[in-house]
Chain A
Amino acid sequence: MDKMIRKAGVFEIFNHWVLAISCFILALTGYAFLFHLEQMTGIFGSFAQMKVIHNYAGIVFTGSLVISIFFYLPESLHMTGDDLKWLSMLGGYLSKHPHVPPMGKLNTGQKLAYLGLVVSGIAIAVSGFVIWLMPGVKKYILLSHLAHNIAFDYIVFAVAAHIYLATLANPGTLRIMLSGTVPLEWARKKSPKWVKEMGY
């Protein structure tokens, strides 16, 4: 059996799924609001209920997002020359035989995606709370409504990409968010710098 290395802690995994599920609920209800999807009432009851769920899921999402910052933000902000190289070849995703530079715990794409998520997540959260809690001020609502929807568009796009990249596009990645451990060899390929840092 291959030697396993722990890439994510239990709490980190837990938080990821909290974030994922809340995001999923928010997106589903969000879509229902956007496109008047009456079918969603089958899952959530009524639109009024959906609003309540959306609001409270938003709290969970926000909390979870804030926690995630401790896990990922410092790493995401840490960019090196390799990241630039990685970026210049788009992570090798457009090539069948890519030669990507060695990556740390997170690759450049993940870093950037996460930074995007933080920005859009904060935007969607803040604008959501404004719409929810400050309905009187038309100017703020209009701005929030715009921000909420731009962020929404980004997030649903990013999440779709994230799911693909974490599953089909990079087989074996999903394990990080299930058991938290990956084979050392696999990790060496994906995150050689990190593996080195970890002393292997």
Chain B
Amino acid sequence: MARKALLISPELCIGCRGCQTACKGWNQLPAEKTKNTGSFENPADLTPIVFNKIRYVEVPSEKDPVRWLFVSQRCMHCDDAGCMKICPAPGALYKTKEGAVAFNKEKCIGCKLCVAGCPFNVPRYDAKDKISKCNLCEDRIAAGLEPACSKTCPTGAIKYGERDSLIGGSKKAGFAKVYGDTDLGGLGSIYAFKDSPKLYGMEENPQIPESIVFWHKVLKPLAYWGVGGAVAASLLHYVVIGPHKDDEEVKKDG
């Protein structure tokens, strides 16, 4: 099946946050008790009950008092997902056939390693220490619907569709580079940025932490081959050299 994705276009986003409410509605997430901290942005961050949010980014502008960008933030549904890589519990995090990173709370063991594995600081944990994040409305998609956020979005700032055609369409619309096109094997939440990702508060080249890559490429195989090798070496030693002989035995023998 062709990989699906969400194409997020801050240039089309009006910051209405219908996506935030729609997400809560569909996923039946309770509200956070928040306070106004001098910004439109609220809640301040993703939480176990806030799967997506709009970040309100103000950057200086030459023609206007300010440039006000609205950037939808959520799980990026990486192809090469750091969370999945590090997760010790099989089935707790898994890929849907559309390519989304979904989760199964029953299989989650609450170790929270995925928090460290995620380059985007997305996974959160609920009161029972189970992972909680955007799963691209896996259940809606299974029922032939699109995710709640993209369904609600009035301007098409969040679009759901076939990843390739979304990228193609975006390039046609004049976005030379789509953020997440190739990063981490290709993200499932891709962005049509007019300017450098940094301006939108995103990292230029997101990477899975190096230590995890090292662990994955070296330590993990070593744990497998290393112990096997140790056993094999022991056997070889036993056969070739045999049990240890002490001096006196040697003398005796001699």
Contact = CB atoms under 8 A, between A and B. Distances in A.
Contacts of A135: 111-112, 115, 125
Interface string B210-254: 011011000110111011011100100110011111111110000
B209 interface: yes
Interface string B84-99: 0010111010000000
Contact of A169 (B90, B209, B238, B250): B238
Contact of B116 (A31, A48, A142, A160): A142
Interface residues of A, number: 47
A98 B116 contact: no
29 contacts: A47-B88, A47-B90, A48-B89, A48-B108, A51-B89, A51-B110, A93-B237, A97-B250, A99-B247, A99-B250, A100-B246, A135-B111, A136-B112, A138-B116, A141-B116, A142-B212, A145-B116, A145-B211, A149-B215, A149-B223, A160-B227, A160-B231, A161-B230, A161-B234, A164-B230, A164-B237, A169-B234, A171-B243, A189-B248
Contacts of A150: 219
B44 interface: no
Nearest to B238: A168
A56 interface: no
B241 A93 contact: yes
Contacts of A157: 226-227, 229-230
A88 B179 CA distance: 58
B222 A98 contact: no
B223 A31 contact: yes
A155 to B, nearest CB: 10
Interface residues of B, number: 44
Main secondary structure of the interface of B (DSSP, over half): helix
A78 interface: no
Interface string A22-49: 0000000001111110100000000110
A146 B227 CA distance: 18
Interface string A89-104: 0011111111110000
B109 interface: yes
B23 to A, nearest CB: 24
A168 B90 CA distance: 37
A171 B89 CA distance: 40
Nearest to A47: B89
B211 A50 contact: no
Given A153-B226, A168-B238, A169-B244, A38 B90 contact: yes
Contacts of B112: 131, 135-136, 141
A190 interface: yes
B107 interface: yes
B209 A142 contact: yes
Nearest to A156: B227
Nearest to A141: B116
Nearest to B209: A142
A92 B244 contact: yes
Given A47-B109, A161-B234, A164-B237, A96 B223 contact: no
A97 B245 contact: yes
Contact of B243 (A142, A153, A169): A169
